[in-house]
Amino acid sequence: MGELVLNLPALAYPALAPMLLLFAAACAGVLVEAFVPRGARNAVQLVLSLLALIAALIMVVLRAGKVTAENAQTAAAAVSIDQAGLFLQGAIIVLGIVSMLLIGERTLETGGPFVAQAAITVGSELDRKQAAKESGATEVYPLALFAIAGMTLFVTANDLLVMFVALEVFSLPLYLLCALARRKRLLSQEAALKYFLLGAYASAFFLFGLALVYGFAGAVDFRAIHASVNNSPNNVLLLIVGLAMLSIGLLFKAAAAPFHVWTPDVYQGAPTAVTAFMAACTKVAAFGALARVLYVGFDGLGWEFTPVLGVIAVLTMLVGAILAVTQTDLKRLLAYSSIANAGYLLVGLLGGGKEGLSSMLFYLVAYGFLVIAAFGMLTLVRDADGEATHLSRWAGLGKRSPLFAGVFSFLLLAFAGIPLTSGFVAKFAVFGAGIAGGQTWLVLFGVLSSIILAFPYIRVVVLMWLNEPGETTPSVSIPGALTSTALMIGVLVTLVLGVWPSPLLDLTTNVSNFIR
């Protein structure tokens, strides 16, 4: 009787170390929830999460100088730890660290926005206050770590099946995180349900696309797909439909029109710290995966998908800019701004080549720090009902809190693309890549939408500085140490990248290549 032989794939553990470390820390966080006393969980979970993220970042940096075409592939070529993948992993982890500071601050506060449901639905008033002090919904930490770990796998997946698994790994925790708001919890739970249902449809499209591509290529890894695209002229329709369905799943996560409808409701309903995390890290993950699919697996199509994605880019920019003008809630305004920025990222992506990928990577980093700082500022304007995000409540805020209004005005001008900010350099980079790649028509629509989108930003600045404060104008709370650190990092990066962008531009140029 013959022996059963298992051919296990060779795993390059040093290359996979950042992901493995994050997954291990997330599992340890679950054990902390089970065994650590409730009063100590916040501190333990926060320290564990930050240490795991910092250690994972160190692993990424150490790996960056050792990547070659020969050792980039690991886990049976299902994961590709190349230079672009490492840069995307590093960006996700760094933005995750800054987001975790915001999450930690809001969770450590008495009551906070992440309070266990039992603390606000049962018991006497005294019991509720005591529960609010002891419970901070500390499951937010392992959920965030699982999401970050899934994102780092998502941007390095060299196989559609692995990419789908990673998509679900980081999506499911996000659905739960959106429902953890204490105040306006019905709005939060509604947003989470909408996100879950629409996300399930998007995942189904991705899975159907995977099946069609497998039917065409007989494989799901990008190397085999690339070879089949170049060598098999038959059944091209099957391939194109499969790519279209894959793109729907990815563009949903990127918040590109017409797959953007979840974004305003989810951004408004989720806890603001979670919204900042989603707006920054999910954008990096979605565009990193989309770039890998288009540049590595399907580049043999001769970029026949460019006109369709170009129309989506134009629609995304215009929908985001025009609907942002009509918003009266700052979280919804930033949500539509996020949609428009997805269109600008598509312009850089469709520019193609090294310059297009480099500009997209720079934009992702610049936008990530900017949007985290903006949402962090929103957490500071509060009244008796919690965060005051309606525009009318911000009238005259500059006269009551000039420092706060000055910093927020700077961030809004950066969103508008004013020179000497990272927003200007990022837009200049993607528009330059679009022109170099022959996509001038996209750049023209991008400039038009930027002009439209500048209006709502400047309207907020005028409202803060030129209007008189009313009796109901909310107060600006003094940020804690964690929030102050996150805001300082976001504002400084926005300023430095606007004044001295060349180091990051050089880095993105050097790493802008995928290894198939």
Distances (CA, A) of 245 to 104, 204, 286, 343, 497: 37, 9, 15, 19, 36
Q: Determine the pLDDT at residue 218.
A: 87
Q: Per the domain annotation, does 385 fall within a domain?
A: yes
Q: Is 74 helix (H, G, I), strand (E, B) or coil?
A: strand
Q: Per the domain annotation, does 409 fall within a domain?
A: yes
Q: Per the domain annotation, does 139 fall within a domain?
A: no
**Residues whose CB is less than 8 angstroms from the CB of residue 388 and which lie 6 or more positions away in sequence, other chains included:** 381, 382, 394, 474
Distances (CA, A) of 217 to 155, 230, 242, 514: 22, 11, 11, 21
What is the Cα–Cα distance from 238 to 176, expressed in whole angstroms?
Answer: 35
What is the Cα–Cα distance from 84 to 76, expressed in whole angstroms?
Answer: 19
Q: Determine the pLDDT at residue 386.
A: 77
Q: Per the domain annotation, does 380 fall within a domain?
A: yes
For 324, the token pair is 């942002």
Nearest to 365 by CA among 511, 469, 482, 183: 511
For residue 390, the cross-strand partners are 329
Phi first, then psi: what are they for 437, rounded to 5°?
-90, 10
For 399, the token pair is 């006269």
Q: Is 383 helix (H, G, I), strand (E, B) or coil?
A: strand
Q: Provide the domain limits for residue 310.
A: 305-516
What is the Cα–Cα distance from 66 to 322, expressed in whole angstroms?
Answer: 46
How many domains does the chain divide into?
A: 1
Q: Per the domain annotation, does 452 fall within a domain?
A: yes
Q: Per the domain annotation, does 482 fall within a domain?
A: yes
In order along its 516 residues, the chain shows pLDDT tens digits of 456 555 666 677 888 899 999 999 999 999 999 999 988 999 999 999 999 999 999 999 998 877 766 666 776 678 888 899 999 999 999 999 999 999 998 765 534 555 443 333 333 444 444 444 444 578 999 999 999 999 999 999 999 999 999 999 999 999 999 998 877 788 899 999 999 999 999 999 999 999 999 998 888 989 888 888 877 666 678 888 999 999 999 999 999 999 999 999 999 999 999 999 999 999 999 999 999 999 998 887 767 788 999 999 999 999 999 999 999 999 999 999 999 999 999 999 999 888 999 999 999 999 999 999 999 999 998 877 778 888 988 888 888 899 999 999 999 999 999 999 999 999 999 999 999 999 999 999 999 999 999 999 999 999 999 888 777 777 788 888 999 999 999 999 999 999 999 999 999 999 988 877
What is the Cα–Cα distance from 498 to 493, expressed in whole angstroms?
Answer: 8
Contact between 270 and 196 (Cβ < 8 Å): no
| CA 173 to centroid of chain Cα atoms | 13
Q: Per the domain annotation, does 434 fall within a domain?
A: yes
Q: Per the domain annotation, does 469 fall within a domain?
A: yes
What is the Cα–Cα distance from 38 to 44, expressed in whole angstroms?
Answer: 10
Q: Determine the pLDDT at residue 261.
A: 92
